[in-house]
Copies of this chain bind each other. A is one copy, B any other.
Amino acid sequence: MTPYAEMTKDEMRRAREELLAEYEKFQNMGLNLDMSRGKPCKEQLDLSMGMMDALYSGADLTCEDGTDCRNYGGLTGIREAKVLIGDMMENNPDNIIIYGNSSLNVMYDTISRAMTHGILGHKPWCKLDRVKFLCPSPGYDRHFKITEYFGIEMIPVDMTPTGPDMDTVEQLVAEDPAIKGIWCVPKYSNPQGYSYSDETVRRFARLKPAAPDFRIFWDNAYCIHHLYDTRQDHIIEILAECKRAGNPDLVYKFASTSKITFPGSGIASLAASLNNLEDIKDQLKNQTIGHDKVNQLRHVRFFKDIHGMVEHMRKHADVIRPKFEAVEEIFDRDLEGLGVGEWTKPNGGYFISFETLPGCAKEVVARAKKAGVTMTGAGATWPYGKDPKDSNIRVAPTYPSLQDLKTAAELFTLCVRIVSLEKLMEE
């Protein structure tokens, strides 16, 4: 196909009119589709219904160590859950705390604790004039909302297919003691589906931050969320790499089963060095007597072990892989060669990232919305919701049915083409 930029204005005008006629057809369909959030679909949720039978009135809810899961206690979680989640996170169970239902909540609490009490004896962040975070962007909007809520200044850093721009990261953290952290989704990143290269992870583990209380916030949300059985990304385990590099306390690592069992009814976890864990437990013991051990046990009884979990994730992949592939096919078919956008083709995770021509993302999302398809708000993937190029759109293919998704993807490419033409005609 001819790249739009090489068309004459007249060709552009005609092409646009044809596309608008098509767009009108979509408008008349009365669509109401949602590609905005990384939500599992019903078929995925059905996969975990067996977990509802894992515990029953006749079951013994006692742990291997004799703990009655139904009573108070167990601040850091039950041992068998730490073993299961340890295998999932590739960490020693002793380095893990099992929390409640939400890793976002754990991240929030981690920042909140640093604000009010500081990290490992350092000054509470709320007593400092300025606190800054590096934000590889595009990134996860809910990460950015946490740091924004606490008045932490967010500095965008470019994301590349191998991870954040490490030259910039290394330089900034070495120079500025106000930089206290960096948000990372190292595997199947949100929204690109990129995974950090070995070099990136090694450079992270070897950071020399000016701030002694600088921490990497390593949100390994999609650690076992592969779309393919053999085409799988692998990243170096960060706690072990930090330990090898002589920086054992440099990282907080987060994960959950939200997109493995039920979002909102899974179990969340944090892995860190024993030093960091002691620091955290000193706070945690004031916050709660313990998290939901019955739900921890429910997860363990359902999966049995990490192999059970991996087999379970294959079933998820079977449901959502066709959706990712359908979107990619439609993007290829409708947009390839037009020079109006680029998109990622991840091996796992929950998102595809789309880059429009500069200045088009907001308009594309608005156009899709007018025809009944909700995308993640343009800008949401950047700190403060401000995408400097107005070009990134996060595509979430998992929730709609395959048929709806195809319709939505077709409408989306149509919107991209129309808005791109309009943009090019302005020039």
Contact = CB atoms under 8 A, between A and B. Distances in A.
Interface in A95-118: 100-102, 104-105, 108-109, 112, 115-117
Given A262-B294, A264-B74, A264-B292, A286 B146 contact: yes
Given A49-B57, A57-B53, A286-B146, A264 B72 contact: yes
Contacts of A55: 52
Contacts of A52: 55-57, 59, 61
Contacts of A105: 287-288
Nearest to A148: B286
Interface stretch (A1-9, A36-44, A270-278): A36-44
A69 to B, nearest CB: 8
A376 interface: no
A145 interface: yes
A50 interface: yes
B291 A101 contact: yes
A400 interface: no
Nearest to A112: B112
A61 B52 CA distance: 10
Contacts of A294: 262, 264-265
A135 to B, nearest CB: 15
Interface residues of A, number: 59
A369 to B, nearest CB: 20
Given A288-B108, A292-B264, A294-B262, A71 B45 contact: yes
A142 B287 CA distance: 9
A384 interface: no
Interface string A309-349: 00000000000000000000000000000000000000000
Contacts of A37: 72
Contacts of A56: 52-53, 56
A32 interface: no
Interface in A62-90: 68-74
A72 to B, nearest CB: 4
Which of A71, A104, A117, A149 has the most C-beta atoms of chain B within 10 angstroms of its own C-beta? A71
Contact of A112 (B45, B61, B116): B116
A9 B316 CA distance: 80
Given A45-B70, A49-B57, A265-B294, A104 B150 contact: no
B104 A289 contact: yes
A358 interface: no
Interface in A261-307: 262-265, 283, 285-295
Contacts of A150: 116
14 contacts: A52-B56, A52-B61, A70-B265, A71-B263, A104-B289, A105-B287, A109-B287, A115-B126, A116-B150, A146-B286, A264-B289, A264-B292, A264-B293, A265-B292
Interface of A: 37, 39-40, 42, 45, 48-50, 52-53, 55-59, 61, 68-74, 100-102, 104-105, 108-109, 112, 115-117, 124, 126-127, 142, 145-146, 149-150, 258, 262-265, 283, 285-295
- Sorted from nearest, which 9 A-B pairs have the closest CB atoms? A265-B294, A72-B263, A149-B286, A108-B287, A70-B262, A45-B70, A49-B57, A105-B288, A126-B126
